[in-house]
Amino acid sequence: MSLSFRRTKAIARKEFLHILRDPLSLIMALAIPFAMLMLFGYALSLDVDRVRTVVVDASRTPESRELISLFLGSRYFEVTNIANAPAEAEQAVLDGKAMIALSIPHDFARSIHLGQEVDIQVLLDGSDSNTANIASGYIEGLVGNYNTQLRAQYSNLRGAVVIPPPIDATSRVWYNSDLKSKNFIVPGLIAVILQVIAALLTSLTIAREWELGNMELLLSTPMRPAELVLGKMSAFFAIGVADAAFAVFVGRFIFDVPLRGSLFDLAIAIVLFLFGALCWGLLVSAIARNQLLAYQMGLLTSFLPSFLLSGFIYAIENMPIPIQVASHIVPSRYFIAILKGVFLKDIGYSLLWPQLLFLLIYASVVFLIATRRLNQKLV
């Protein structure tokens, strides 16, 4: 018995009408992507800049003021206060008013003129270890540049030949030259949105059919499970495509994330990923017959893996080996790699075919399992 387009179309029409008659589900499907994009795009930032800094200048000399001016002129630091004593600066860090306390000793200028090594104390709030580690690197670079300037300045005053450093490393950042975290976050966020919306909406809707007893009636008709899956999926597929188009539009024109690759390549990846995510939601609904359990299972198997194990925020290479192995079965990992490749690197199928092949295999396998599971539910 072959698939019937007429029966599949009838189920699809039923689902479209049901969605239109249930405005709450439709609003949720359209509002959640907008809310997530605005929240994550504006509020979630991995950029470390304008770190609150308090300074203690015991030297009060032109040399110490020059060092402080480097911090004042840097976008990575925000000098909030010039403290009178180290204890005052330490209290500011303790109270959370500053993350960095910079203490310049009273013999700062004298030691520099004598050519002696001088120590400045930098206290960092390690309760936010990631920011503290990055800020520490910024301080080392800033102080290192100041040290180089002083060495050249005093060598010229003494008539000595300034010996340039033997190695001069010049760094160039590709694909995200301004190192903006939104260029990293927004493409990955598209994958998380589609995974959550597709899995949760389909699982909740089909679970409601089980609770109302409609699913048994549908499965008792001549309709085949594959026709039921495709028909049920079509309405949510249209919503998912609309959500994806909206997310791409917002990322490109509101957050100004560059889209260097082909829209056609991006569309193919979205279709494959969305189809697999919808099939997964249907599989969850076939396993759980009530909406509460379907919601919990959908959240556990879609949002958490997409957020934690896909490389969206946290680098997979830094995770323990067992977690890295487990991440290979998370489809969002491959879709996010495609999104970043298309958005930022202009990578085509020649390099992205392994990720596309995985999404195709994943969608096919989950579709077959979902149809078999629905068929077994009738027994």
Q: Are 140 and 152 in contact (CB under 8 A)?
A: no
Please check whether residues 84 and 124 belong to one and the same domain.
Answer: yes
Please check whether residues 208 and 271 belong to one and the same domain.
Answer: yes
Domain limit, last residue, from 142, 157, 172:
157
Please check whether residues 321 and 357 belong to one and the same domain.
Answer: yes
Distance between CA 48 and CA 46 in Å, rounded? 6
Residue showing tokens 């004598």:
114
Q: Is 272 part of a structural domain of the chain?
A: yes
Tokens of 55: 């300074």
Q: Is 208 part of a structural domain of the chain?
A: yes
What CATH number does residue 119 fall under? 3.40.1710.10
Please check whether residues 234 and 365 belong to one and the same domain.
Answer: yes
Domain count, the chain: 2
- As to burial, measured by CB atoms within 10 angstroms (0-12 exposed, 13-18 middle, 19+ buried), residue 194 is buried
Please check whether residues 372 and 253 belong to one and the same domain.
Answer: yes
Please check whether residues 9 and 70 belong to one and the same domain.
Answer: no
Give the three-class secondary structure for 77: strand
Please check whether residues 356 and 219 belong to one and the same domain.
Answer: yes
Distance between CA 377 and CA 368 in Å, rounded? 14
Rg, the chain, Cα only: 29
Q: Is 162 part of a structural domain of the chain?
A: no
> Which DSSP string corresponds to 117-153?
----EEEE-TTSHHHHHHHHHHHHHHHHHHHHHHHHH
Please check whether residues 116 and 102 belong to one and the same domain.
Answer: yes
- What confidence score (pLDDT) does residue 356 get? 93
Q: Is 137 part of a structural domain of the chain?
A: yes
pLDDT values of the chain reduced to their tens digit, one per residue, 379 residues:
467 777 788 878 877 777 777 777 677 777 878 888 887 777 776 677 889 999 999 989 988 898 899 899 888 899 998 888 888 988 888 888 899 999 998 888 888 877 777 888 899 988 777 778 888 888 888 888 888 777 777 666 565 555 555 445 555 667 777 777 788 888 888 898 888 888 777 777 777 777 777 766 776 777 777 887 788 788 888 888 988 999 999 989 988 889 998 999 999 999 999 999 988 888 888 787 777 788 788 888 888 888 888 888 788 888 899 999 999 999 999 999 999 899 988 888 888 899 999 999 999 999 999 888 876 654 4
Domain limit, last residue, from 125, 157, 189:
157
- What confidence score (pLDDT) does residue 379 get? 46
Angle between helices 181-212 and 331-340 (to 10 degrees): 140
Query: Strand 100-104 vs strand 121-124: parallel, antiparallel, or unpaired?
Result: antiparallel
Tokens of 353: 């075919």
Q: Is 170 part of a structural domain of the chain?
A: no
Q: Is 166 part of a structural domain of the chain?
A: no
Q: Is 167 part of a structural domain of the chain?
A: no
Distance between CA 141 and CA 47 in Å, rounded? 17
Which range of residues forms the domain containing residue 300?
Answer: 5-45+180-377
Q: List, in order, residues 6 or more apart from 245 with CB less than 8 Å away.
A: none
Please check whether residues 300 and 188 belong to one and the same domain.
Answer: yes
Please check whether residues 242 and 321 belong to one and the same domain.
Answer: yes
Please check whether residues 344 and 206 belong to one and the same domain.
Answer: yes
Please check whether residues 350 and 207 belong to one and the same domain.
Answer: yes
Q: Is 165 part of a structural domain of the chain?
A: no
